[in-house]
A and B are shown apart, each in its own frame.
Chain A
């Protein structure tokens, strides 16, 4: 079946602009996660949804970052007033449950802020 998909695959934007990154999880998966990965580092947790609600947003670096999942399926990560330090690969993952269940990752969106 279809895996986790993310769009766009690449996004180049200018400093100060607003961007939206989309994640389509595996159908039926109730849990959805956003991670950010910088070059040479492991993925860093940003936010976790259980259904439509954000169960844990402790990883969001500041209030410029926001994510929604209005219908409990597709999620959008929104970044306002982008900074060059936001450049990274943004990964989305989904899982059937929320505890130790296997997480399925998408290919990521590479964001470059110039």
Chain B
């Protein structure tokens, strides 16, 4: 399974755009890139998933360059409630001979949003 590397922590202020980059040099052809968010005392929550180029939903955007060796989660205009740990994961597509269905979490990026 592809290993991911992301910053341990980031600080931001309310209203700013936050970009968290994740490296996954050994990503497999059939692997997806998924980001989860975790608040204290809660289980992780799915944010966004992509395979290539750009994906956008109501909470975030995910940018994936052509070589897919990295990805960037973009959170527009963060608020205090976005303070959480963000995990980048690579895997999935078991039915196509890719990685297994289980998720491999790293330590994540602890985002602190200040007023």
Interface, chain A (partner B; CB < 8 A): 4, 31, 33, 35, 40-45, 48, 55-56, 59, 91, 93, 95, 98-108
Once A98-B94, A100-B49 are accepted as A-B contacts, the answer to whether A56 and B107 lie under 8 Å apart by CB is no
Interface, chain B (partner A; CB < 8 A): 32, 34, 41-46, 49, 85, 87, 91-96, 98, 100-108
Once A40-B107, A41-B107, A45-B102 are accepted as A-B contacts, the answer to whether A105 and B45 lie under 8 Å apart by CB is yes
Residue of B nearest to A91 (CB): B43
Contact A42 B102 (CB under 8 A): no
5 A–B pairs (Cβ distance < 8 Å), ordered by A: A33-B103, A45-B104, A93-B43, A99-B98, A100-B101
Question: A100 to nearest B CB, angstroms?
Answer: 3
Once A4-B43, A48-B101, A93-B43 are accepted as A-B contacts, the answer to whether A42 and B93 lie under 8 Å apart by CB is no
